[in-house]
Structure 1
Amino acid sequence: MGHNLNADNWGVHSATEASLLSGELLFPLPEPPTDLDYREKGSPSAAKIELGRMLFFDKILSGNQNISCATCHHPSAGLGDQLSLSIGEGGNLLGLGRDTGEGLDAVHERVPRNAPDIFNLGAKEFVTIFHDGRVQQPFKNKNFFVTPAGETLPSKLENILAAQALFPVTSATEMAGQMGENTIANFAAEKDFTSIWNALAERLRSIPAYVSLFEAAFPKIKNGSNELTFADAANAIAAFESQAFRFDNSPFDAFLRGDDDAMTVDEKMGMSLFYGEAKCASCHSGPFLTDHQFHATAMPQIGPGKNHGTSGREDFGRGAITEDAADNYKFRTPSLRNVALTGPWGHDGAFSDLKEIVIHQLNPFDALAYYDRTQPVLTGRSDLDAIDWIAMDDAVAVDQLADACQIEPVNLEPDEIDQLVSFLYALTDLRALDMTDIIPSSVPSGLPVAD
């Protein structure tokens, strides 16, 4: 059962607090997550998890062997990279210190979208992955996935998180590298996904320590009935992410379980607004605070874009996947668990201040018109800087962005906005404040883990 919302049960002690907290909610509070909400009940095999951990931090999976999954999803940076738009293949170092590389090996562009958060993706309800939903599991109880690979998708994938893990390695900007730099980059330029995955599997088969890890994780490989494939690697990465990045025990969850004192008065007031007048829960619903749907919120468009619109610097989001103009500028509703740790926020990291994106979501039209261009956190380089604002400088494109917006403005007082932000902080699992124990000291390839 959910928490009793009678104000007398909220741990408040003054008549003023009780009267403020006793308003009716427009949306139901969720049940806190349990093991049953997760694939494999939250417990993949230890051998598979350890293999996935090594792969997640190993640069062997990138074309030029200079970037890993962890580079853009690092435990020391809230499983992101603290940048609005990531610096992918060709850059050096991590997080705010990451540069754009040097000479011919330097990055060619910023990654067009913000590194999405990867908390709690082992939950069964996550059947849509990426900001534009280009990887989906249409039927929850069937391992059938809709992906950019179409019919060439490997058949041994255990879940949608494994399907997702196949694709960063195929992106020239993210991990593969530029055509002519390496064989994998050449395959990526031709969108030959199968050859990329086969080449990476061959790399892994050439490293005895990895062969041993795969044999421990997958008995069919050990007994010789199956050859080590990149689908096995993707399954292991998914198992690791499912277990290692599960952080779903926040003060909000403690409150839902009946601990009246787990949240402060301001956090409870923010919760009341979130599930009430502010209508945040119309999209951010359920145990993971997402409806997994696509919505247009007039998020400012920055960076290189996705080759959409007249300038090529726009990002049509879901519309580019469905090829339906009615879906332009729609992006997947993100989960808000641990949201205070995952900034910058927005599909392109347009906001580095959590309060500012809350203000935007309450009134996107005004916020778009008066957008503060100092909000993005971008690694500077003159040629990259020159294209960052092309979409926002296009008045027609900005008007189209505003016209597509589906949010009805909500007017809140400044102190109410602060309370909403307080509630968002109460969605933080405090264990996620220090995830450094997840980072291995070394990986089987021998490539450096620390940048």
Structure 2
Amino acid sequence: MSDEKVELGKKLFWDGRLSGDGSTACVACHMPQMGWAFTSPISRGYPGTVHWRFSQTVLNSGYYTKLFWEGNVNSLEQQAKAAATGAVAGNGDESMMEMQLRFVPEYVEDFQNIFGTPWPNIEDAWKAIAAFQRTLVSDPDKVPFDRYMNGDESALSESQLRGMELFEGKANCVACHSGPLLSDQSFHALGVPNNSLFESEPLYQISHRWQQYQKGVSEDVYRTANEDMGLYYGTKDPENKGKFRTPSLRELKYTAPYMHNGTLATLADVIDFYDAGGGEHPNKSSLMQPLGLDEKEREDLVAFLEALSMDEPLLMDSPALPASVPLQ
């Protein structure tokens, strides 16, 4: 980490030249004004395609041990690469993106100063983007919950305090949403219903079927798959079908909708889902049980969840991007 590497990473995070046609920079799916996510149930895709999952926020992502909903990479460097090269995300070719950087004199100088290479190397670009993303963190002085935990007893309202008691007790949210990140960083099946877009829109069905194929499932699974199977794609263990990594609850006030496919629009919807004991799935976690919350308890729980976010969102202006010029 260095100031220079972070500043380079910020520019690259905004630079569409790290994509197939210049249109899909990292920020295209992780917008500051949208909680560093993309507030559509299914994220935008590369032009001519659509994605198949909700785009998670990159806030506090430096603290995850596994990235993406199915946990298929274990570093921000790998995450940046996977997103920029993914066919329904950035759709970039690494050699072409590297050459794009080499035609930008300012980048050539930056990479020389930071990495000691005569020309930009694409692997170093991922390192710079990862360094920038590690600076995108919640400010504990601006988070009511953190202020309360640090001794400010006035930081939480009476409703939020009751919600915290429910969170740790009757609702048992803490069973999975624990620790500073408010995530056990494990994988659970909740029975989240499929997004109806995949039942009615051909382009979404194309993405869904293509993803099944490229993730290496057997042909019988590929031919009949009607759900996103999450962790199963990496393990091929049937007991992992329907399991997704527990997301952090930090900054969730600014990152609606919720779940891996964006099917729950509000925090109230999320509480109702858990209160009902989740949905139906053969691998559903035994932790998912009806909670029996009354209306006031549901309101208090939502109030506490909102206290896990900063008082105001983390915004950032777009950097000025350097121009490409012909080689001499």
TM-score computed with the length of structure 1 as normaliser: 0.64
Q: Counterparts in 2 of 1:143-292, with a 5 A limit? A: 160-176=75-91, 184=92, 196-218=93-115, 220-221=116-117, 224=118, 227-243=119-135, 245-249=136-140, 250-292=143-185
Q: Which runs of 5+ in 1 are unaligned?
A: 1-43, 91-106, 137-159, 177-183, 185-195, 369-400, 447-451
CA distance in 1: counterparts of 2:281 and 2:31, whole angstroms: 34
Give the partner amino acid of 2:85: T
1:201-225 per-residue CA deviation (whole Å, 9 max, x = no partner) reads 122112111112222322x22xx5x
CA distance in 2: counterparts of 1:313 and 1:342, whole angstroms: 27
Match of 1:135 among 73, 78, 93: 73
What residue is the counterpart of 2:306 in the other structure? 425
Equivalent residues, number: 300
Match of 2:59 among 111, 115, 119: 119
CA distance in 2: counterparts of 1:167 and 1:45, whole angstroms: 24
- Contact 1:362–1:411 (Cα < 8 Å) also in 2: yes
Give the partner amino acid of 2:173: C
Q: Which runs of 5+ in 2 are unaligned?
A: 199-203, 213-220
Give the partner amino acid of 1:173: V
Give the partner amino acid of 1:84: P
What residue is the counterpart of 1:341 in the other structure? 254
- Contact 2:241–2:283 (Cα < 8 Å) also in 1: yes
CA distance in 2: counterparts of 1:299 and 1:248, whole angstroms: 31
How far the C-alpha of 1:88 sits from its partner, in A, is: 1.6
- Contact 1:120–1:248 (Cα < 8 Å) also in 2: no
1:20-74 per-residue CA deviation (whole Å, 9 max, x = no partner) reads xxxxxxxxxxxxxxxxxxxxxxxx3110011001100011011111111101100
Whose Rg is larger? 1
Give the partner amino acid of 2:154: D
CA distance in 1: counterparts of 2:283 and 2:62, whole angstroms: 32
How far the C-alpha of 1:403 sits from its partner, in A, is: 2.6
- Contact 2:277–2:291 (Cα < 8 Å) also in 1: no
CA distance in 2: counterparts of 1:423 and 1:51, whole angstroms: 37
Q: Counterparts in 2 of 1:2-401, with a 5 A limit? A: 44-90=1-47, 107-108=48-49, 110-123=50-63, 126-136=64-74, 160-176=75-91, 184=92, 196-218=93-115, 220-221=116-117, 224=118, 227-243=119-135, 245-249=136-140, 250-302=143-195, 303=198, 304=204, 305=208, 306-307=211-212, 311-365=224-278, 368=279, 401=280
- Contact 2:107–2:120 (Cα < 8 Å) also in 1: no
Residues 199 and 409 of structure 1: is their aligned pair in 2 closer, same or farther, counting only changes over 3 Å?
A: same
- After superposition, the CA RMSD in angstroms is 1.7
TM-score computed with the length of structure 2 as normaliser: 0.87
Give the partner amino acid of 1:444: P
- Contact 1:165–1:237 (Cα < 8 Å) also in 2: yes
CA distance in 2: counterparts of 1:216 and 1:278, whole angstroms: 52
